Amino acid sequence: MKNDTIIIGTRSSKLALWQADFVAEAIKGEHPELAVKEQRMTTKGDKILDAPLAKIGGKGLFTKELEEAMLSREIDIAVHSLKDMPTEVPEGLAITAITKRADPGDAFVSNRYAHLSELPKGARVGTSSLRRRAQLLSLRPDLDIHDLRGNVGTRLDKLDAGEYDAIVLAVAGLTRLGFGERIREIIPREHMLPAVGQGALAIESRADDEAVNEVIAFLNDPDMQTAATAERAFLARVEGGCQVPVGVYAECDQGELTIEAVIASLDGRRLYRSKTHGQETEAEHLGRELAERLLDEGGLAILQELGLLV
């Protein structure tokens, strides 16, 4: 931070800009003495739009360039969707704050059908997520799932052009961009668990930048930080940096933490799901313990088949 100015690094998509603006306005409100600037950047994930995320690297595709800019001190902080963050951040950086979570659910969006259950046999459904694909097929093995890349607006345009009967997107992204009315159904969590951290924002900064970290500390939501610790501990055990067919959701309530997770095969035919609970102080342990349970039940074989674990 130079001359009482904080520089926020952000991707250039409308959703990323919304997220950066949200954090910028919060900082201005809490610290009116500071100036806040935004620096737009393009990541590898923004450039490669013609291949599934899982085939080009999954997590990290939307963060690497921003992290390099932080380490070189071009920017002070970066704002990410927490679900896009790898479980390990580069040396010298840290996730300094995690915001209160918006709705973590997945939205069923269709111009013809009001509910997922109303889709006819063989309906064409678009999603770029292995997690959504696996859980959709577990519920509806008759669906025809196709890859869908691009920003939120692009995906909606493809739906409107008739390329899909329905698409599945994050509720939080749709509502933040003013597309909440396009949501026909929020898929119940008993049918589809969200991605790690879905609905929350992560603010990343240099670990040793005490001045900046003190400024943004107010953005951290303790309950969400605890939930994220459990969810990310689960993910760290079952993958690393790749996109995998797993869903996980943790929630805090008066010192107690409940975490539920699923590992599913890509065709949805094998699905291992379980939950556990304990004290909030055990968040990391609970996440890893649940991961071990699901791996032992059959999740390990699924991930080995995908070449993700040995």
What CATH number is attached to the domain comprising 81?
3.40.190.10
* Spatial separation of the C-alpha atoms in residues 20 and 264, rounded to whole Å: 34
List residues with catalytic annotation. 84
Residue 124 maps to a domain: yes
> What pTM did the predictor assign?
0.90
Domain count, the chain: 3
Place 306 in a pLDDT band, splitting at 50, 70 and 90: confident
Residue 195 maps to a domain: no
Give pLDDT tens digits for 32-87.
Answer: 999 999 999 876 555 444 545 444 445 555 678 899 999 999 999 999 999 988 88
Residue 171 maps to a domain: yes
Residue 310 maps to a domain: no
By C-alpha distance, which of 239, 200, 198, 226 is closest to 282? Answer: 226
Residues 14 and 90 in one domain: yes
Give pLDDT tens digits for 115-156.
Answer: 999 999 999 999 989 999 999 999 999 999 999 988 899 999
Residues 59 and 118 in one domain: no
Residues 60 and 136 in one domain: no
Domain that holds residue 164: 106-187
- pLDDT average, residue stretch 202-217: 96
Residue 153 maps to a domain: yes
* Spatial separation of the C-alpha atoms in residues 195 and 29, rounded to whole Å: 30
* Spatial separation of the C-alpha atoms in residues 206 and 76, rounded to whole Å: 7
Residues 10 and 95 in one domain: yes
